[in-house]
Amino acid sequence: MMGVLLTVAIFLPLVSALLVAIVRNSTFSRVISIATSVVVFLIAVYLGLNFDWNNPSFQHTIKLPWIQPLGISFSLGLDGMGMALFLLTAFMFVVAFVWSVKIEDKPNLYHALFLLLETACLGVFSALDFFLFYLFWEFMLIPMYFIIGFWGHERKVYAANKFFVYTFFGSIFLLLGIASVVIYGYIVSGSVSFDYFFLKNIQYPLWIQLVAFLLFGLGFAVKVPMWPFHTWLPDAHVEAPTAGSVILAAVLLKMGTYGFVRYSLPMFPEASKYYVPLIFFLSVVAIIYAAMMAIAQTHIKRLIAYSSISHMGLVTLATFASDGNALNGAIYMMVAHGLSSAALFMSAGFIYDRIHSYHMDDLGGLARYIPNLAIVFMLSGLVGIGFPGLAGFVAEFLILLGTYKNYPVWAFVAGVGMVLGAAYFLYMYKRVMLEEETISDYRREKWSHLKDLELHHWIAFVLVLASSVLLGIYPLPFVKLMEHTTRMVFGG
Amino acid sequence: MDWNALLPELILSFGILLLFFLDLLLDKRHFKLLHVLGGFVPIFAFISLFFVEVPAKTFFDTFSVGPFELFGKGLLYILSSLSLFALYDYFLKKNSPYGEVPYLVLLSTLGLSFFMSSDNLLTLFVSVELSSISIYILTALFRGDYNSKESAFKYLLMGSVGTALFGMGSVFYYGAVGRFFLVPYADQNTLFSLFVLFFLSALALKVSAVPFHFWTPDAYDGAPTPLVGYIATAPKLALYMLLVKLALLFSQFKLWLVLVAVLSLLSMFYANFTAYAQRSVKRLLAYSSIAHAGYFLLGVSLSDEVLQKALLFYLGVYIFAVLGSFVVLSAFEKQEGFSHHLLEYRGLGRENPVLGVALSIFLLAFIGIPPMALFVGKLGMFMGLVKAGLGLLALAFVVASIISAGYYLKLMSVMFLEEGEVRFRGGSLSAGESFTLLVCLIFIFLLGLFPQLLYTYIKL
């Protein structure tokens, strides 16, 4: 029953997308998109409330035969991490649709593509069959490509192509990795199967683990993105429309780290230990280098994009720190970063809507003209830099706690990254919201009529920030969710 | 004589004769009728496949039918029927209703059909020439057009080299084995090595693998666009069927793996890089098909059931993507002065969303994006290669696929995303073309989501 509900939640947006494509009425598109995403979110909440975190197995499962000669089944299910990310995805699409309620340019296509994207994202987090997983994983490229390409800014074609090629580069290695483990399973057991549990329970010899880890890891690393595969992200974010950036940062980046936790850690445990120095090196470079890059930016979206890379570096670091608390923190960080980066991109998008520039040189002293935005912008940033009482704090605390136990030096470096995070955010805030003296009289004149947040902006911001506060002051149920996964990974 | 085994070929032959006389008797006005009739002939042949009792041998054992041949013939007939339905409107719009088109296409299909069933180098030779000569004529169809003549001449010249290599190879085979029948042979001697070398070269030329690919871009460029959909698919289908048979027989031969691997590596890397330099979309697709020849050759590098089945599946869905993409191209070409230059595609997707989306779906399928069926083919090839212990070749395949993604995307972004002056407004689709396009799209999606529908019919 729950499995059926999960299936409905995943494919409802697909059905709505088809409806939008058939009806082609912009009001209809807006209404049905918001309605669909709200229904999906409510289903996700219902599934979350019925999630039993004491039961150490995947829940809300459904398994139907699909492609029998190849041992492929339509198999869905959620564990704690999957549940958390499923909730996050469903939630962020509500926010994205509310935010885009006033879109004027090709609204039907816009909503149809976002709905397709929602199906793909929800599917990635709940697929328990490699074929199905890859289907969703890769299908996601198509709507995102066109979202960046159609509604982007000046260099949108370049950014869309770069996004596509980079992600495809990673995922085709992932496909080879999947083929390899399936064939190994076939050689060991004599039957072809793409089932997650079947392939997870095989003991892979070390050399296969080492190779397969790299193949899988490349696929995930591009999506995270880990240094040095990160260069597509700033371009994609800079060019994408606001809602595209929100989904990209809040949902799509999580797929990479989700992949590491779901596939790499449990399937290749020895390789995961073997590659710890490599992963740590790349993560720390990402944390520090991306933070430095962020400080050097004058383009606010690019700055937020680099901050995302830095935060995702923390996630990969903690994922491989072989500690329960660190892994809890990593998953918590996925959710917290989803919320904070979404709020930051919405703030940036709002500024662009009003002033038509992302450059700090064109901005300054905005707090006087759009004070409400100044408040939510500050709050969004505080979530990102881990201010106590907000979601980011719990995540960073857990990460430091867990990483410090086994790798105190690396924990220190991670801490430095967090300090830099505060630095670049406050620097950006100062340049954009305060510093009145730099703006010209002409601008003062023009900005005096600026319209502050409208209703749909308020709804979107309140949704995101309220949940950040909730996650910050009452983390217990969410940590329980994370622990559900952590226990399965570490056994016990 | 076992006439039952020849049932589909007999139907094709009668159809060809009928169309031949109808072309003589009927007026130009009935051009469309000829094509539609022609399109139905392979459908009847396809239906007759269900009445063929397999396995059967006839013609002094040179002609054999089994489940493997039935699979290939089934695809071939569907393919030629679909391409015939999509032809007429283009020729009418170009004001050149040549009545010989349907029966030439069918003649080529007949040749390929015999080719698939041949177990003997002599019959192979005769049947492949029957098909090739028909195709040379089809390429040169626009007699007045310089490009068409030039490309047909090049094609003929290069094709004759292939014929010569084919003949030479057969002679060495006779020298080594003492007969023309294809039989398992494991002796390593000079004559047999020469056979493998020449014969593989001949086949590489026909499937347009590097370094025997030179005719491909020219032939595709000069031939009437809707016919390219046929020229680029049907002969290759038959040739890969033969290559699969050869791989089963001879792949333990030392040179085999090396030669095939070299051909395939050269093809995929050379073509994928060269495709970036193309300005004509037709040539770009020609290079894409050279690259695909490289991918497919990987599938015959060793004799392995998983690998060969994956190859046949990949091939079976690839041909529909190619046919579909050339149908879109010919629909575009119906506009006056359209020459397939990349710049002329600017904004075409926005102006004509149906054709643009269809072409994009085929391009994404070539890249290997799910849920299009070519992705399952790629996955299967990876699995087969890993199973056969050719992990490094699989890695090369991966790298080549990544390289290729860029130029398909370029075409897509030109059609939809790039801004600038839009010179063409997008072509028109006839009923036949819509039908073909629709069937190709349905195949691509359906077989991507339910590959078992085709996979269960692949029997080696």
**B280-303 tens-digit pLDDT:** 999 999 999 999 999 999 999 988
Residue A362 is predicted with a pLDDT of 84
Residue A144 to residue A247: CA distance in whole angstroms: 9
Question: Which residues of chain A make contact with B383, given a CB cutoff of 8 A?
Answer: 179, 182-183, 192
Phi (first) and psi of residue B431, to 5 degrees = -60, -45
Q: What is the pLDDT of residue A243?
A: 92
Residues 6+ apart with CB under 8 A from A210: A268, A271, A274, A275
* pLDDT tens digits along A283-304: 999 999 999 999 999 999 999 9
Distance from CA of A176 to the nearest CA of B (A): 6
DSSP reduced 3-state for A480:
helix
pLDDT at A279 (0 to 100):
93
A54-75: pLDDT as tens digits: 888 899 999 999 988 888 999 9
| 3-state helix, strand and coil shares in percent for chain B, rounded to the nearest 5 | 75, 0, 25
Question: What average pLDDT does this structure show over B375-384?
Answer: 92
Residues of A with CB under 8 A from a CB of B: 66-70, 131, 134-135, 138-139, 141-142, 146, 149-150, 156-157, 160-161, 164-165, 168-169, 172-173, 175-176, 178-180, 182-183, 186-187, 192, 211
The residue among B347 and B272 whose pLDDT is bigger is B272
pLDDT exceeds cutoff 90 at A15: yes
Q: Tell me the chain B residues in contact with residue A157 when contact means C-beta distances shorter than 8 Å.
A: 413, 417-418
Distance (Å, rounded) from C-alpha A411 to C-alpha A325? 13
Q: Which residues contact A386 (CB under 8 A, 6 or more apart)?
A: A392, A393, A395, A396, A397, A418, A421
Q: Provide, for chain A, the percentages of residues in helix, strand and coil under a 3-state DSSP scheme, each rounded to the nearest 5.
A: 80, 5, 15
Mean pLDDT, range B303-313, rounded to an integer: 91
Comparing A63-77, A116-130, A442-456, the range with the smallest average pLDDT is A442-456
pLDDT band at A103 (very low <50, low <70, confident <90, very high): confident
Q: How far apart are the first and last CA of chain A?
A: 29
Contacts of B399 (CB under 8 A, 6+ apart): none
Do the domain assignments include residue B51?
A: yes
For residues A136-154, average pLDDT: 91
Q: How far apart are CA A338 and CA A124, in angstroms?
A: 16
pLDDT at res. A86: 94
Quick one: average pLDDT of B445-457?
Answer: 91
Answer whether residue B155 shows pLDDT above 80: yes
Residue B448 lies in a domain: yes
pLDDT of B31 reads 85
Residue of chain A whose alpha carbon sits nearest to that of B401: A172
Contact assessment for residue B120 and residue B62, using Cβ atoms and an 8 Å cutoff: yes
3-class DSSP state of B329? helix
Domain that holds residue B370: 3-455
**A-B interface: how many C-beta pairs under 8 angstroms?**
86
**Which pLDDT belongs to residue A68?**
86
What is the pLDDT, as a whole number, of residue B148? 84
pTM above threshold 0.80: yes
What residue ranges do the domains of chain A occupy?
275-492
pLDDT reading at A27 higher than 60: yes
Give mean pLDDT, residues A439-444.
79
**Residue A51: which region, alpha, beta or left (left: phi > 0; alpha: psi -120 to 50)?**
beta
Is the pLDDT at B350 greater than 90? The verdict is no
Comparing CB atoms, the residue among B382, B418, B452 nearest residue A157 is: B418
Could A165 and B391 be called an inter-chain contact, meaning their C-beta atoms sit closer than 8 Å?
Answer: no
A377 and A347 Cβ atoms separated by less than 8 Å: yes
Averaged pLDDT, B105-110: 95
The pLDDT of residue B437 is above 70: yes
Under an 8 A CB cutoff, do A139 and B382 touch? no
Q: Has residue B460 been placed in a domain?
A: no
**Beta-carbon separation of B383 and A138 below 8 A:** no
Q: Helices marked H in A362-435 — which ranges?
A: 366-369, 371-385, 391-406, 408-433
pLDDT of residue B106: 95
The stretch A360-374 carries a mean pLDDT of: 86
Task: Say what the pLDDT of residue A439 is.
Answer: 76
From the list B378, B386, B409, which residue is nearest A165 (CB)?
Answer: B409
Q: Which two tokens stand for residue A121?
A: 């994202």
Please state the rounded mean pLDDT for residues A402-429: 89
pLDDT at A437 over 80: no
Predicted confidence (pLDDT) at residue B190 exceeds the cutoff of 80: yes
Q: Classify B61 in phi/psi space as left (phi over 0), alpha (psi -120 to 50) or beta.
A: left
Q: Are the CB atoms for A123 and A135 separated by under 8 Å?
A: yes
Beta strands in A133-264 (DSSP E): none
Contact B425, B338 (CB under 8 A): no
Q: What is the pLDDT of residue A41?
A: 95
∠ CA A111-A114-A116, rounded to 5°: 110
Number of domain units in chain B: 1
Q: How many helices (H) and strands (E) does chain A have?
A: 24, 2
Whether A176 and B401 lie within 8 Å, measured CB to CB: no
pLDDT band at A33 (very low <50, low <70, confident <90, very high): very high
Question: Is the pLDDT assigned to residue A492 strictly greater than 70?
Answer: no
In eight-state DSSP terms, residue A226 is P
Q: What is the pLDDT of residue A413?
A: 87
